[in-house]
Amino acid sequence: MGRQRLAIVGGDAAGMSAASIARRRDPEIEIVAFERGPYTSYSACGIPYYVGGLVDDADRLISRGPEEHRAAGIDVRTRCEVVAIDLAARRLTVRTGTGEESEEPFDQLVVATGARGVPPPIPGADAIEPARTVDAGERLRAALERGGGSAVVVGAGYIGLEMAEALVDRGLRVTMIDQASQVMATLDADMAGHVQDAAEGTGVRVVLGAAVEEIVVDEAGAPVAVRTADECFEADHVVVGAGALPDVELAAAAGLQLGDSGALRVDDRQRCPGHDGVFAAGDCAESHHRVLDRMVNIQLGTHANKQGRIAGVNATGGDERFPGVIGTAVSKICRYEVGRTGIGEREAASAGIAVVSATIKDRTRAGYYPGAGPIWVKLVAEPGSGRLLGGQIVGVEGAAKRIDVLAIAVWTGLSVQELALLDLSYAPPFSGVYDPLLIAARATAKLL
Amino acid sequence: MGRQRLAIVGGDAAGMSAASIARRRDPEIEIVAFERGPYTSYSACGIPYYVGGLVDDADRLISRGPEEHRAAGIDVRTRCEVVAIDLAARRLTVRTGTGEESEEPFDQLVVATGARGVPPPIPGADAIEPARTVDAGERLRAALERGGGSAVVVGAGYIGLEMAEALVDRGLRVTMIDQASQVMATLDADMAGHVQDAAEGTGVRVVLGAAVEEIVVDEAGAPVAVRTADECFEADHVVVGAGALPDVELAAAAGLQLGDSGALRVDDRQRCPGHDGVFAAGDCAESHHRVLDRMVNIQLGTHANKQGRIAGVNATGGDERFPGVIGTAVSKICRYEVGRTGIGEREAASAGIAVVSATIKDRTRAGYYPGAGPIWVKLVAEPGSGRLLGGQIVGVEGAAKRIDVLAIAVWTGLSVQELALLDLSYAPPFSGVYDPLLIAARATAKLL
């Protein structure tokens, strides 16, 4: 057997994590990574901060560029799109920026194609490029710098909210439109209301329950307005902050299985069932949700990095397991920080899981300590046992990272009764003598 | 049987928590609380902020004053010192501020006498009043306001450090002296070094390994200098930030048992063994340390509140358990936040527990996100199993409350291997894509 060759499709978090750990584990294997864009290992999460000007140089979003990966012994081919995978022949068809195609063999394969923004099925939608990559972010920022005083953001999820804030930071008048009846569908409506308050407090006009019916474009094809059933919002800039779908077209065409979530089916070793030596990781793959006990597709850099790493270990003869996810996420939205983990009341209802739930409002510091501000904590627990199933936090600085405390509690199956008496830290700059999480746990325990 | 009478000795966190929950649970019982000082339910933890001027009004440190407690149906007697407990006769001897003594019967008793600063056994020590109560804090601040440009703080634990920072905030030249070879003995020496850097960065002169041999006083008995073997430090003000001992003299004289820690022995219902209806809670009582599996005395408001509440529940016919402690604590020291939970390397060594340990340095936000600063995380785990036994964190804003994540992990017996892959939150304002805790867990897991 000659030298083994590991091919990676996709050069961002999952793909390059796989490549990097494989390189460290096996000095002999040949590793080639194909990325259709110009960059590798970038922070898509940082794009709103670059668009808003909080980060001035797009290069800072690149945690490791192609040259660095090459110096580490990974053959990175940027502006190279994999257009076909032949699993039987173990061969990729790759198209370069100039349109030439070549065949590339592999022994092991990691599919890390990520997710792609999907234009809504309305007229004009094609005129908007979702800012999901660094180069798309650069094009958006360049457009903003050319002028214009108003913007419409379509979609009020966390990316839409971060984009709206970024545009307000640039001095634009911003309207954010979503067909849902609340912002941030990952939160329950009551908690999402506080986030909406924060966005509106910054000056964003939030229009909810309004489906966008058309992106109105001028003769040159540039967007000039966004039309809903009731209103037409003129805009110098239109930004889409709506969700994305796992980018699985290539892999599905090759015969890899899709799960119910629409993402690539993998086992807990990131293996694609039925295809030895073929792995998938990141936004294009499924994960096991430990609370819902079903496969889900959650597109986050943190999962992509971990899964990519595990794929890279297992592609080079190792045996590591990805233990699954519990839906932990955090974001900063205007004056509030927002965190969530496990399941909320709405998710519980749609999964047919009975829960008890309590929400408390407290302050992030001792009342007398300067800088104290509001924090809301909502907990969701299993009736009877009191096992914590999920938590949501909204509040001022210092609020959101407390979600990790709840994440460990959900992960380990802790009950709210036990949490209520747990030895959490206290000092006046960080909380009242009862941490808000303890107060929320006690309030929830009372309902059992 | 007539109306029952619950007596509380000590009107701060533990005592008034007991009184308050007892009042809510039992509208019939008579509740009388004796406090030798003028205040109830105050935040001793807030005193350094009052001394430093960050909090301007001492009343803000009082979370509930005597009048509020009285309005709630608790007979609070301030400036009343309990000088004897007769357990057989179920009777207290109480001395008022004017020196009169009276007998007070009780059916149930909660001993919540707290802790007291103990003057070091050196000449002049009696000249310094530890600022452990709000009224002592007021006297210290009044003295500072009368003038003087220099101060010596004796003791470099967290209270000494907070006091040193407070005095620097007031514009004083501050020297902090401790006989230990490091600041903050609750941290391992390597982590304590960062805290020392922060104190010195603020301008505090830190003198370690130097036992104070004398507080030099003038003819009027006022302190003017602090003398060690090597040096004499002139000071307009001398502040003692040294440790305190559980205040058990009264209870011990009455025949209540002391544990090895020197604090009052209690079971997990806060009951004093051998004496039905007699409870102890807070700084004067022991707690079970779940990692060390022995009784300890940790003087913190968070335990005092919880234990007091449990004593009050059980004194009124309830049955609640205090589940013990794991040594979680947090403080803000100059530019750093500091947290610890479980056991450190030194505690492990002195308890004869073999451990592996790793320390990592990272940043509190994504590298490109403004305001990123250093964070150090040290983990201590059981060899073989990898079970997390403790953690220490030092870092800039946003660092310390992460200790609660480790607290839950220690509490639930999570391994560092599992922690390394756990679904913690990520967004650029809060961490790199791998949270520092995950990085630390992975570094520790590698050593197993």
Q: What is the pLDDT of residues A252-306, one digit of tens each?
A: 999 999 999 999 999 999 999 999 999 999 999 999 999 999 999 999 999 999 9
Beta bridge partners of A430: none
Which residue among B46, B61, B402 places its CB closest to the CB of A401? B402
Interface test with B, best of A169, A408, A417, A418 (most B CBs within 10 A): A408
Give mean pLDDT, residues B333-356: 97
pLDDT at B241 over 90: no
Same fold? A5-37+78-116+245-315, A329-446: yes
Domain ranges of chain B: 5-116+245-315, 119-242, 329-446
- Is B119-242 a domain of CATH 2.40.70.10? no
In angstroms, the separation between the Cα of residue B84 and the nearest Cα of chain A is 31
Task: Read off the DSSP letter of residue B278.
Answer: E
Alpha carbon distance A191, A412 (integer Å): 24
Task: Read off the DSSP letter of residue A224.
Answer: E
Is B332's CB within 8 Å of A429's CB?
yes
Amino acid found at B425 = S
Is A414's CB within 8 Å of B435's CB?
no
- Chain B residue numbers with beta carbons less than 8 Å from the beta carbon of A431 are 401
Give mean pLDDT, residues B386-397: 97
- Chain B residue numbers with beta carbons less than 8 Å from the beta carbon of A369 are 46, 49, 54-55
Amino acid found at A257 = Q
Which residue among B328, B332, B430 places its CB closest to the CB of A401? B430
Confidence band of B83 (pLDDT split at 50, 70, 90): very high
Question: Other C-beta atoms within 10 Å of B25: how many?
Answer: 14
Which residue among A49, A323, A339 places its CB closest to the CB of B428? A49
Q: Are B290 and B325 in contact (CB under 8 A)?
A: yes
Is A305's CB within 8 Å of B434's CB?
yes
Beta bridge partners of B289: B294, B325
Q: What is the pLDDT of residues B9-50, one digit of tens each?
A: 999 999 999 999 999 999 999 999 999 999 999 888 899 999
What's the CATH fold of domain A5-37+78-116+245-315?
A: FAD/NAD(P)-binding domain (3.50.50)
Query: Tokens standing for B37?
Result: 């000082």
Q: Are strands A223-228 and A75-77 parallel, antiparallel or unpaired?
A: unpaired
- Chain A residue numbers with beta carbons less than 8 Å from the beta carbon of B43 are 366, 368, 428, 433
Q: What is the pLDDT of residue A2?
A: 72
Q: Positive or negative CA dihedral for A188, A194, A195, A200?
A: positive
pLDDT at B2 over 80: no
Q: What is the pLDDT of residue B1?
A: 56
A334 classed as catalytic: no
What's the CATH fold of domain B5-116+245-315?
A: FAD/NAD(P)-binding domain (3.50.50)
Which residue among A43, A423, A430 places its CB closest to the CB of B428? A43
Burial class of residue A335, CB neighbours in 10 A (0-12, 13-18, 19+)? middle
Q: What is the pLDDT of residue B387?
A: 98
Beta bridge partners of A66: none
CATH class, domain B329-446, is alpha beta
Q: What is the pLDDT of residue A88?
A: 97
Is A421's CB within 8 Å of B306's CB?
yes
Q: How much is the ipTM here? A: 0.95
Q: Are A322 and A335 in contact (CB under 8 A)?
A: no
Q: What is the pLDDT of residue B131?
A: 86
In angstroms, the separation between the Cα of residue A331 and the nearest Cα of chain B is 6
| Helix spans in A333-402 (H) | 345-350
List, as one string, the DSSP characters of B170-190.
TT-EEEEEESSSSS-TTS-HH
Query: Over pLDDT 90: what percentage of chain B?
Result: 92
Beta bridge partners of B339: B330, B393
Predicted TM-score of the model (pTM):
0.95
pLDDT < 50 stretches in chain A: none
Helices B403-412 and A403-412, axial angle in degrees (round to 10) = 10
Compare all CA atoms of chain A with the CA of B364 and give the residue at the minimum distance: A401
Distances (CA, A) of B356 to A189, B328, B379, B389, B441: 45, 20, 8, 10, 11
Q: Are A69 and A55 in contact (CB under 8 A)?
A: no
Give mean pLDDT, residues B101-124: 94
Distances (CA, A) of A364 to A397, A401, B166, B383, B401: 8, 12, 21, 37, 11
Is A60's CB within 8 Å of B368's CB?
yes
Q: What is the pLDDT of residues B300-331, one digit of tens each?
A: 999 999 999 999 999 999 999 999 999 999 99
Question: Which of A48, A67, A73, A68 has its CA nearest to residue A58?
Answer: A48
> Which residues lie closer than 8 Å to A87 by C-beta, 6 or more apart?
A254, A255, A256, A275, A278
Q: What is the pLDDT of residue B243?
A: 75
Give mean pLDDT, residues B198-205: 97
